[in-house]
């Protein structure tokens, strides 16, 4: 058991190092900025204390939810982070559950995610069509992915869309880059991530209940433990489900019937590495 864990850590450590080394200067700079921001946030949380921060966030979220058009602010933020190179879709969806509860929060997240991803799809395709044609001719992985998607159609589009990799904003860019994918297919595939949005909105709603000091004081120990278990369990389920779907999708692409094995392998690699090679996000 211990040796298997060590082997996995070594394997994924090598993969992570390899992905880092393949990044360009801009990519490494963004990674450095991301790490610096997270370290700064951690220090800030330790100094200010989690209780004060969570209460502040709860008060602001409550104020937003009682604002007449507050839902448009969160919906607009989800739409905004659907465009590259911005990130934070999952965090923003969790915030909708935090501010509005899991039912209304999910509704806001679902509508905004469909509108945002469709808007990004159309804008990227219209603005970068010339770059796409040049890039696709020179990239055999992406050419293979186009062949596979064209052959298998909507079912494969749905599977790739449900996968956590590429992440949300890169996934929008990926499908905008595949000329054989129609907008209606992309929108239908996006609807299949609604269970994931519901889960994150639910996690946000439980976090809100634990963030408010008044609600915490009214909870007995069992209720507090249950809420923490729901938050932790939801996060674990989200991680495990994402990894399982990603593994199944890449394996499925590598074993598609009626497509040469070489094309299958290249298509799977295109999905795995798209966040690094992204044709609509890279240099002209």
Judge if 134 and 198 occupy the same domain: yes
pLDDT digits (tens, 9 = 90+) for 141-155: 777 777 788 777 888
Does residue 2 lie within any of the structural domains?
Answer: yes
Residue 161 has pLDDT above 50, yes or no: yes
Residue 283 lies in a domain: no
Q: What is the pLDDT of residues 35-53, one digit of tens each?
A: 787 788 777 767 766 667 7
Residue 194's contacts (CB-CB under 8 Å, 6 or more residues apart) are 106, 110
Looking at the fold, whether 238 and 105 belong to one and the same domain comes out as: yes
- State whether 31 and 107 are in the same domain: no
Greatest distance between any 2 Cα atoms in the chain? 63
State which of 31, 48, 65 marks the end of a domain.
Answer: 48
Domain-embedded: residue 267: yes
pLDDT, tens digit (0-9, with 9 covering 90-100), for 172-218: 888 888 888 899 999 999 999 999 999 999 998 888 888 877 777 77
* One domain for residues 170 and 247: yes
- Could you tell me if residue 282 is inside a domain? no
105: Cβ contacts below 8 Å, ≥ 6 apart: 93, 96, 97, 98, 99, 201, 204, 205
Task: Return the pLDDT at 137.
Answer: 65
In a domain, 185, yes or no: yes
Confidence band, pLDDT 50/70/90 cuts, at residue 284: very low
pLDDT band at 8 (very low <50, low <70, confident <90, very high): low
Specify the number of domains making up the chain: 2
The answer to whether residues 208 and 162 belong to one domain is yes
Residues 125 and 247 in one domain: yes
* pLDDT score at 267: 67
Residues of the domain holding 111: 51-277
DSSP alpha helix (H) spans, 85-220: 89-127, 129-138, 140-152, 154-162, 168-177, 183-191, 194-211, 213-218
């Amino acid at each position: 058991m211990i040796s298997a864990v060590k082997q996995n850590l070594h394997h994924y450590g090598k993969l992570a190092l390899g992905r880092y080394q393949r990044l360009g200067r801009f990519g490494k700079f963004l990674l450095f900025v991301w790490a610096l921001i997270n370290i700064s946030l951690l220090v800030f949380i330790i100094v200010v204390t989690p209780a004060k921060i969570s209460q502040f966030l709860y008060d602001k979220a409550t104020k937003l939810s009682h604002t007449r058009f507050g839902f448009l602010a969160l919906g607009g933020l989800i739409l905004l982070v659907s465009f590259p190179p911005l990130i934070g879709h999952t965090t923003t969806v969790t915030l909708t559950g935090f501010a509005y509860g899991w039912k209304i929060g999910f509704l806001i997240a679902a509508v905004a995610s469909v509108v945002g991803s469709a808007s990004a799809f159309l804008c990227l395709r219209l603005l970068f069509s010339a770059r796409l044609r040049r890039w696709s001719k020179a990239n055999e992985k992406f050419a293979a992915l186009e062949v596979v998607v064209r052959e298998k159609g909507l079912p494969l589009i749905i599977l790739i869309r449900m996968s956590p990799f590429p992440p949300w904003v890169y996934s929008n860019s990926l499908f905008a880059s595949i000329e054989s994918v129609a907008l209606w297919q992309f929108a239908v595939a996006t609807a299949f991530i609604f269970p994931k949005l519901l889960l994150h909105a639910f996690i946000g709603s439980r976090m809100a209940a634990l963030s408010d000091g008044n609600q915490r004081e009214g909870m007995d120990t069992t209720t507090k433990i249950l809420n923490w278990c729901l938050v932790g369990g939801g996060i674990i389920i989200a991680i495990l489900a994402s990894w399982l779907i990603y593994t199944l999708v890449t394996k499925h692409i590598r074993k598609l019937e009626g497509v040469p094995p070489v094309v299958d392998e290249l298509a799977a690699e295109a999905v795995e590495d798209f966040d690094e090679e992204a044709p609509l996000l890279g240099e002209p």
